[in-house]
Amino acid sequence: MTVATLAAANVKIVHDKKQNLKRFTELIEEAADKGVDVLVLPEAGLQGYADFDLSGKAKAEQKQYYFREAEPIPGPSTQAIAALARKHDMLIQLGMAERALHGNAIYNSTALIGPEGVIGIYRKVHNQFEFPYFNPGEEMPVFETPLGVFGSIICYDLCFPELLRTYAVKGADVVLMSTAWPMRGHDRATDYHGWAMDTAAQGNAFFNQNWLVISNHCEKAAYSKKIDYYGGSQIVDPRGKVVSYLADEEGLVIHTADLQEEILKSRTEEFFGLNLLQDRRPEHYAAVIDQSHRYPSETLPIARSAAKPRPVKQPHQSKPAAE
Protein backbone atom coordinates (compact mmCIF):
# COMPACT_ATOMS: atom_id res chain seq x y z
CA MET A 1 0.00 0.00 0.00
CA THR A 2 1.15 3.57 -0.72
CA VAL A 3 0.74 6.61 1.48
CA ALA A 4 0.68 9.74 -0.69
CA THR A 5 -0.23 13.39 -0.35
CA LEU A 6 -2.62 14.67 -3.00
CA ALA A 7 -3.10 18.36 -3.78
CA ALA A 8 -4.94 20.66 -6.18
CA ALA A 9 -4.59 24.38 -6.82
CA ASN A 10 -7.26 27.07 -6.79
CA VAL A 11 -5.64 29.68 -9.06
CA LYS A 12 -6.30 33.02 -10.73
CA ILE A 13 -5.21 32.56 -14.34
CA VAL A 14 -4.46 35.21 -16.98
CA HIS A 15 -3.75 35.19 -20.73
CA ASP A 16 0.00 35.34 -20.15
CA LYS A 17 2.12 32.17 -20.13
CA LYS A 18 5.06 33.70 -18.29
CA GLN A 19 2.89 35.02 -15.50
CA ASN A 20 0.99 31.74 -15.15
CA LEU A 21 4.21 29.71 -15.11
CA LYS A 22 5.60 32.01 -12.43
CA ARG A 23 2.49 31.45 -10.30
CA PHE A 24 2.66 27.69 -10.87
CA THR A 25 6.29 27.68 -9.76
CA GLU A 26 5.27 29.41 -6.51
CA LEU A 27 2.49 26.88 -5.92
CA ILE A 28 4.76 23.93 -6.68
CA GLU A 29 7.33 25.22 -4.19
CA GLU A 30 4.56 25.69 -1.60
CA ALA A 31 3.29 22.18 -2.28
CA ALA A 32 6.79 20.76 -1.92
CA ASP A 33 7.18 22.45 1.47
CA LYS A 34 3.99 20.66 2.55
CA GLY A 35 5.14 17.25 1.35
CA VAL A 36 2.85 16.97 -1.67
CA ASP A 37 3.41 14.00 -3.97
CA VAL A 38 0.76 14.73 -6.62
CA LEU A 39 -0.35 18.24 -7.64
CA VAL A 40 -3.14 19.12 -10.10
CA LEU A 41 -3.22 22.49 -11.91
CA PRO A 42 -6.28 23.90 -13.73
CA GLU A 43 -7.60 23.51 -17.26
CA ALA A 44 -5.76 25.59 -19.87
CA GLY A 45 -3.81 26.95 -16.93
CA LEU A 46 -0.72 27.64 -19.00
CA GLN A 47 -2.34 29.96 -21.57
CA GLY A 48 -5.65 30.78 -19.86
CA TYR A 49 -9.10 29.56 -20.86
CA ALA A 50 -10.98 31.09 -23.79
CA ASP A 51 -13.11 34.19 -23.36
CA PHE A 52 -16.81 33.45 -23.54
CA ASP A 53 -17.31 36.14 -26.20
CA LEU A 54 -17.85 34.02 -29.32
CA SER A 55 -18.68 36.87 -31.70
CA GLY A 56 -16.88 36.99 -35.03
CA LYS A 57 -13.85 39.21 -34.43
CA ALA A 58 -13.37 38.19 -30.79
CA LYS A 59 -13.56 34.50 -31.72
CA ALA A 60 -11.00 34.94 -34.47
CA GLU A 61 -8.63 36.80 -32.13
CA GLN A 62 -8.87 34.04 -29.55
CA LYS A 63 -8.23 31.34 -32.13
CA GLN A 64 -5.17 33.25 -33.26
CA TYR A 65 -4.03 33.56 -29.62
CA TYR A 66 -4.09 29.79 -29.19
CA PHE A 67 -2.31 29.16 -32.48
CA ARG A 68 0.42 31.55 -31.35
CA GLU A 69 0.69 30.38 -27.74
CA ALA A 70 -0.07 26.63 -27.88
CA GLU A 71 2.92 24.33 -27.37
CA PRO A 72 3.75 20.75 -28.25
CA ILE A 73 4.02 18.14 -25.52
CA PRO A 74 6.86 17.75 -24.63
CA GLY A 75 7.73 21.40 -25.11
CA PRO A 76 9.29 24.38 -23.33
CA SER A 77 6.70 24.69 -20.56
CA THR A 78 6.40 20.98 -19.83
CA GLN A 79 10.19 20.87 -19.62
CA ALA A 80 10.14 23.72 -17.09
CA ILE A 81 7.53 21.89 -15.01
CA ALA A 82 9.51 18.65 -15.32
CA ALA A 83 12.55 20.36 -13.80
CA LEU A 84 10.43 21.29 -10.77
CA ALA A 85 8.95 17.78 -10.62
CA ARG A 86 12.46 16.36 -10.63
CA LYS A 87 13.62 18.80 -7.95
CA HIS A 88 10.76 17.86 -5.62
CA ASP A 89 10.11 14.25 -6.70
CA MET A 90 6.51 15.17 -7.54
CA LEU A 91 3.84 14.27 -10.11
CA ILE A 92 2.22 17.38 -11.62
CA GLN A 93 -0.76 17.60 -13.96
CA LEU A 94 -0.54 20.70 -16.16
CA GLY A 95 -3.54 21.94 -18.16
CA MET A 96 -2.62 23.62 -21.43
CA ALA A 97 -3.45 24.30 -25.06
CA GLU A 98 -1.42 21.72 -26.97
CA ARG A 99 -0.28 22.18 -30.56
CA ALA A 100 -0.09 18.99 -32.58
CA LEU A 101 3.32 18.33 -34.06
CA HIS A 102 2.26 19.30 -37.57
CA GLY A 103 0.91 22.60 -36.18
CA ASN A 104 -2.56 22.46 -37.72
CA ALA A 105 -4.59 21.30 -34.71
CA ILE A 106 -4.93 22.62 -31.17
CA TYR A 107 -6.09 20.43 -28.27
CA ASN A 108 -7.33 21.21 -24.78
CA SER A 109 -4.94 18.87 -22.98
CA THR A 110 -3.37 17.83 -19.74
CA ALA A 111 0.18 16.58 -19.38
CA LEU A 112 1.05 14.36 -16.43
CA ILE A 113 4.65 15.20 -15.64
CA GLY A 114 7.05 13.43 -13.31
CA PRO A 115 10.74 13.59 -12.41
CA GLU A 116 11.65 11.87 -15.70
CA GLY A 117 9.51 14.18 -17.84
CA VAL A 118 6.11 13.75 -19.50
CA ILE A 119 4.44 10.52 -18.39
CA GLY A 120 1.36 10.89 -20.58
CA ILE A 121 -1.10 13.19 -22.35
CA TYR A 122 -4.88 13.40 -22.14
CA ARG A 123 -6.88 15.41 -24.69
CA LYS A 124 -10.37 16.52 -23.68
CA VAL A 125 -12.92 14.14 -25.16
CA HIS A 126 -16.15 16.01 -24.39
CA ASN A 127 -15.46 19.44 -25.84
CA GLN A 128 -18.32 19.96 -28.28
CA PHE A 129 -18.84 23.60 -27.28
CA GLU A 130 -15.11 24.33 -27.70
CA PHE A 131 -15.08 23.62 -31.43
CA PRO A 132 -14.00 27.16 -32.34
CA TYR A 133 -10.69 26.54 -30.61
CA PHE A 134 -9.90 22.91 -29.82
CA ASN A 135 -10.00 19.54 -31.57
CA PRO A 136 -11.58 16.70 -29.58
CA GLY A 137 -9.44 13.97 -28.09
CA GLU A 138 -10.17 10.31 -28.81
CA GLU A 139 -8.22 8.37 -26.17
CA MET A 140 -8.73 7.56 -22.48
CA PRO A 141 -5.32 6.41 -21.24
CA VAL A 142 -4.37 5.47 -17.70
CA PHE A 143 -0.87 6.07 -16.38
CA GLU A 144 0.89 3.64 -14.08
CA THR A 145 3.22 5.26 -11.55
CA PRO A 146 4.90 4.21 -8.30
CA LEU A 147 2.08 5.99 -6.44
CA GLY A 148 -0.74 4.21 -8.26
CA VAL A 149 -2.70 4.29 -11.49
CA PHE A 150 -3.95 7.70 -12.64
CA GLY A 151 -6.52 8.86 -15.16
CA SER A 152 -7.17 12.42 -16.31
CA ILE A 153 -10.31 14.35 -17.19
CA ILE A 154 -10.96 17.96 -18.14
CA CYS A 155 -13.97 19.98 -16.96
CA TYR A 156 -17.08 18.94 -18.96
CA ASP A 157 -15.82 15.33 -18.97
CA LEU A 158 -17.06 15.16 -15.35
CA CYS A 159 -20.64 15.14 -16.65
CA PHE A 160 -20.17 11.82 -18.45
CA PRO A 161 -20.01 8.96 -15.94
CA GLU A 162 -19.16 6.53 -18.74
CA LEU A 163 -15.70 8.11 -19.01
CA LEU A 164 -14.91 7.91 -15.31
CA ARG A 165 -16.27 4.37 -15.14
CA THR A 166 -13.95 3.45 -18.02
CA TYR A 167 -11.01 4.65 -15.96
CA ALA A 168 -12.19 2.66 -12.94
CA VAL A 169 -12.54 -0.49 -15.05
CA LYS A 170 -9.00 0.11 -16.33
CA GLY A 171 -7.78 0.16 -12.74
CA ALA A 172 -7.40 3.88 -12.01
CA ASP A 173 -6.89 4.61 -8.32
CA VAL A 174 -7.11 8.37 -8.79
CA VAL A 175 -8.75 10.59 -11.40
CA LEU A 176 -7.10 14.00 -11.79
CA MET A 177 -9.42 16.74 -13.06
CA SER A 178 -8.23 20.07 -14.43
CA THR A 179 -11.12 22.47 -14.99
CA ALA A 180 -12.16 26.03 -15.80
CA TRP A 181 -15.64 25.72 -14.28
CA PRO A 182 -17.53 29.03 -14.35
CA MET A 183 -20.58 30.26 -12.51
CA ARG A 184 -23.67 31.65 -14.22
CA GLY A 185 -24.07 34.30 -11.53
CA HIS A 186 -21.81 35.87 -8.91
CA ASP A 187 -22.90 34.22 -5.65
CA ARG A 188 -21.29 30.87 -4.84
CA ALA A 189 -23.93 30.15 -2.22
CA THR A 190 -26.79 30.11 -4.73
CA ASP A 191 -25.08 29.24 -8.02
CA TYR A 192 -26.58 26.08 -9.50
CA HIS A 193 -23.70 25.52 -11.91
CA GLY A 194 -21.12 25.34 -9.14
CA TRP A 195 -23.39 23.08 -7.11
CA ALA A 196 -23.61 20.82 -10.14
CA MET A 197 -19.82 20.41 -10.21
CA ASP A 198 -19.69 19.50 -6.52
CA THR A 199 -22.55 17.03 -6.88
CA ALA A 200 -21.07 15.36 -9.96
CA ALA A 201 -17.67 15.09 -8.27
CA GLN A 202 -19.05 13.31 -5.22
CA GLY A 203 -21.28 11.05 -7.31
CA ASN A 204 -18.51 9.94 -9.65
CA ALA A 205 -16.08 9.18 -6.80
CA PHE A 206 -18.79 7.25 -4.94
CA PHE A 207 -19.94 5.20 -7.95
CA ASN A 208 -16.38 4.24 -8.90
CA GLN A 209 -15.02 4.00 -5.34
CA ASN A 210 -11.80 5.79 -6.24
CA TRP A 211 -10.21 9.18 -5.63
CA LEU A 212 -11.04 12.37 -7.53
CA VAL A 213 -8.82 15.47 -7.33
CA ILE A 214 -10.11 18.74 -8.87
CA SER A 215 -8.22 21.95 -9.65
CA ASN A 216 -10.18 25.01 -10.83
CA HIS A 217 -9.76 28.68 -11.70
CA CYS A 218 -10.97 31.22 -9.13
CA GLU A 219 -10.67 34.58 -10.91
CA LYS A 220 -13.58 37.03 -10.79
CA ALA A 221 -14.96 39.22 -13.61
CA ALA A 222 -12.77 37.39 -16.07
CA TYR A 223 -12.31 38.61 -19.61
CA SER A 224 -14.91 40.55 -21.59
CA LYS A 225 -17.98 38.71 -20.29
CA LYS A 226 -17.03 39.32 -16.64
CA ILE A 227 -17.39 35.66 -15.76
CA ASP A 228 -16.76 34.51 -12.18
CA TYR A 229 -15.04 31.15 -11.88
CA TYR A 230 -16.39 28.85 -9.20
CA GLY A 231 -13.19 27.73 -7.55
CA GLY A 232 -14.16 24.77 -5.41
CA SER A 233 -10.90 22.89 -5.88
CA GLN A 234 -11.31 19.71 -3.87
CA ILE A 235 -10.29 16.18 -3.06
CA VAL A 236 -13.03 13.54 -2.90
CA ASP A 237 -12.30 10.17 -1.32
CA PRO A 238 -13.50 6.75 -2.57
CA ARG A 239 -16.60 7.00 -0.38
CA GLY A 240 -17.70 10.13 -2.22
CA LYS A 241 -16.82 12.35 0.76
CA VAL A 242 -15.04 15.67 0.29
CA VAL A 243 -11.93 15.57 2.47
CA SER A 244 -10.40 18.91 1.43
CA TYR A 245 -12.06 21.94 -0.19
CA LEU A 246 -11.25 25.55 -1.04
CA ALA A 247 -13.99 28.00 -2.08
CA ASP A 248 -12.86 30.98 -4.18
CA GLU A 249 -9.58 32.06 -2.60
CA GLU A 250 -6.22 31.13 -4.12
CA GLY A 251 -4.32 28.29 -2.55
CA LEU A 252 -3.97 24.53 -2.26
CA VAL A 253 -6.24 21.74 -1.07
CA ILE A 254 -4.18 18.90 0.43
CA HIS A 255 -4.93 15.44 1.79
CA THR A 256 -2.67 12.56 2.85
CA ALA A 257 -3.87 8.96 2.78
CA ASP A 258 -2.95 5.40 1.94
CA LEU A 259 -4.63 5.59 -1.47
CA GLN A 260 -5.11 1.89 -2.20
CA GLU A 261 -6.04 1.03 1.39
CA GLU A 262 -8.86 3.59 1.36
CA ILE A 263 -10.10 2.21 -1.95
CA LEU A 264 -10.05 -1.30 -0.48
CA LYS A 265 -12.03 -0.17 2.56
CA SER A 266 -14.59 1.60 0.40
CA ARG A 267 -15.18 -1.64 -1.54
CA THR A 268 -15.21 -4.04 1.44
CA GLU A 269 -16.39 -2.12 4.54
CA GLU A 270 -18.20 1.09 3.59
CA PHE A 271 -21.64 1.26 1.95
CA PHE A 272 -22.73 -2.14 3.27
CA GLY A 273 -19.42 -3.66 2.19
CA LEU A 274 -20.47 -3.58 -1.46
CA ASN A 275 -17.95 -3.49 -4.29
CA LEU A 276 -19.78 -1.52 -6.97
CA LEU A 277 -17.33 -2.47 -9.70
CA GLN A 278 -17.56 -6.17 -8.89
CA ASP A 279 -21.36 -6.05 -8.87
CA ARG A 280 -21.70 -4.48 -12.32
CA ARG A 281 -23.67 -6.43 -14.94
CA PRO A 282 -22.14 -5.11 -18.18
CA GLU A 283 -23.88 -7.75 -20.26
CA HIS A 284 -27.08 -5.76 -19.68
CA TYR A 285 -25.67 -2.33 -20.58
CA ALA A 286 -25.46 -2.63 -24.36
CA ALA A 287 -27.76 0.36 -24.80
CA VAL A 288 -25.10 2.58 -23.22
CA ILE A 289 -22.78 2.05 -26.18
CA ASP A 290 -25.42 1.66 -28.89
CA GLN A 291 -24.76 4.17 -31.68
CA SER A 292 -27.82 3.70 -33.87
CA HIS A 293 -28.87 7.29 -33.06
CA ARG A 294 -25.91 8.42 -35.15
CA TYR A 295 -27.24 6.63 -38.23
CA PRO A 296 -30.99 7.26 -38.22
CA SER A 297 -31.43 6.49 -41.94
CA GLU A 298 -30.56 2.85 -41.25
CA THR A 299 -33.43 2.50 -38.80
CA LEU A 300 -36.15 4.18 -40.89
CA PRO A 301 -38.38 2.36 -43.43
CA ILE A 302 -37.04 2.62 -46.96
CA ALA A 303 -38.95 5.19 -49.00
CA ARG A 304 -41.14 3.65 -51.73
CA SER A 305 -39.31 5.58 -54.45
CA ALA A 306 -35.98 4.19 -53.32
CA ALA A 307 -37.19 0.63 -52.97
CA LYS A 308 -36.50 -2.01 -55.58
CA PRO A 309 -39.35 -1.88 -58.15
CA ARG A 310 -41.81 -4.70 -57.88
CA PRO A 311 -42.28 -6.92 -60.97
CA VAL A 312 -45.38 -6.13 -62.98
CA LYS A 313 -47.95 -8.89 -62.66
CA GLN A 314 -49.13 -10.12 -66.03
CA PRO A 315 -52.88 -10.52 -66.54
CA HIS A 316 -54.21 -14.05 -66.32
CA GLN A 317 -54.86 -15.64 -69.73
CA SER A 318 -57.12 -18.68 -70.07
CA LYS A 319 -55.76 -21.60 -71.97
CA PRO A 320 -57.59 -22.26 -75.28
CA ALA A 321 -60.07 -25.09 -75.10
CA ALA A 322 -58.90 -28.39 -76.49
CA GLU A 323 -60.10 -29.16 -80.02
Of 36-40, 239-243, 252-256, 297-301, the least confident:
297-301
d(CA 12, CA 152): 21
Fill in the amino acid letter for 269. E
Q: Residue 304: inside a domain, yes or no?
A: no
Q: Residue 323: inside a domain, yes or no?
A: no
Q: Residue 45: inside a domain, yes or no?
A: yes
Q: Which CATH number fits the domain that encloses residue 199?
A: 3.60.110.10
Q: What is the mean pLDDT of the chain?
A: 92
How many structural domains comprise the chain? 1
Residue 215: which of 230, 237, 200 has the closest Cα? 230
**What's the predicted TM-score (pTM) here?**
0.91
Range of the domain at 179: 3-278
Q: What is the pLDDT of residue 107?
A: 97
Average pLDDT for residues 222-231, to the nearest whole number?
A: 92
Per-residue pLDDT tens over the stretch 236-249: 999 999 999 999 99
Per-residue pLDDT tens over the stretch 156-210: 999 999 999 999 999 999 999 999 999 999 999 999 999 999 999 999 999 999 9
